[in-house]
Amino acid sequence: MSITIYDVAREANVSMATVSRVVNGNPNVKPTTRKKVLETIERLGYRPNAVARGLASKKTTTVGAIIPDISSTFFSELTRGIEDIATMYKYNIILSNSDQNKTKELHLINTMLEKQVDGIVYMGGEITEEHINQFKTSRVPVVLAATSDKEKTLPSVNIDYEQATYEATTHLIETNKEQPALITGGEHIQNNSLKYSGYVRAVKDANIELNEELIVENESSYNGGIEGVTELLEECSISPKAVLVTTDEMGVGVIHGIQDKGLQVPDDIEVFGFNNTRIAMMVRPTLTTVVQPMYDLGAVAMRLLTKYMNKEEVDDHTVILPHRIIERNSTKSSNNH
């Protein structure tokens, strides 16, 4: 049988209310009594029932984190940020992978709410009407991390994807005086459409006529990068001098795809990544990329959620964190810093 609060009270010869006060850290207990209760808890191996406590306080101190894929270096660093801040504020995390599958995403949101979580941090692809309706009717606060809805109705933490891609594209145009190719992931739809806009704006601002042939869509993965660049090199009538991708994993795939064709990076073709995940340093040549502060995105999203859960004042529902470009060896103008 599992040990109950009643057993602890009986063994320690105190009331159940006293045990409850000790367990919940209430200061109104005599030190000697507290010591006796804690020793009894230890001896009996009593574990407070979080569900029962949750029913009493209407709080479960649990937060749901829904992410596309924990095996992605990007999302694992983001989740680390969420977890560290959650721990600091004494929340537990329930983590679920949605695989960018809308049915699964909506099902997970429901499941989390049924489990009585106090709040949800959500990272996903496309935020549809159904997602927004589900979040809006939720009894608990929801914060989006590294994703946003088009109308910015939900609280979110991101970088300026449009501007970051504009700067990366401009950087490549300045070196090569021509339109770089873009291999874009189909997932994280809202972010990718912002990245696409930034790319197009940079090409137009450089007075270059946009060549659609240089834009390829594939999945945001290593294989997506290899397939995308292979398609570019085999089917495009002009050979690009530079390739920009929407994630680092794709960037590594692109570097390998170029090398498989017997070409050199950056001498024949430059490659520019996005996110600055650990993988950018693991490839040779190392990958020039846009630094998206993954850990901070997770940490700030979780901190924002704690504010909503504790009914604190929130000044800004839409947080934009700074980004920068880090040059490595996959582009020519690299100063190796």
pLDDT digits (tens, 9 = 90+) for 235-252: 999 999 999 999 999 999
Q: What is the pLDDT of residue 300?
A: 97
What are φ and ψ of residue 66, in 5° steps? Answer: -110, 120
Average pLDDT over residues 34-39: 93
pLDDT at 176: 94
pLDDT for residue 330 is more than 90: yes
Percent of the chain scoring above 90 in pLDDT: 73
Cα-trace Rg, the chain: 25
Provide DSSP, 269-315. -EEEEEE--THHHHSSSPPEEEE--HHHHHHHHHHHHHHHHTT---S
Over residues 143-156, the pLDDT tens digits come to: 999 999 888 899 99
CA distance linking residue 232 with residue 243, whole number of Å: 10
- Nearest by Cα to 118 from 136, 94, 99, 134: 94
Give the pLDDT confidence of 165-222 residue by residue, as tens digits: 999 999 999 999 999 999 998 755 688 999 999 999 999 999 999 999 999 999 989 9
Confidence of residue 1 (pLDDT cuts 50, 70, 90): low
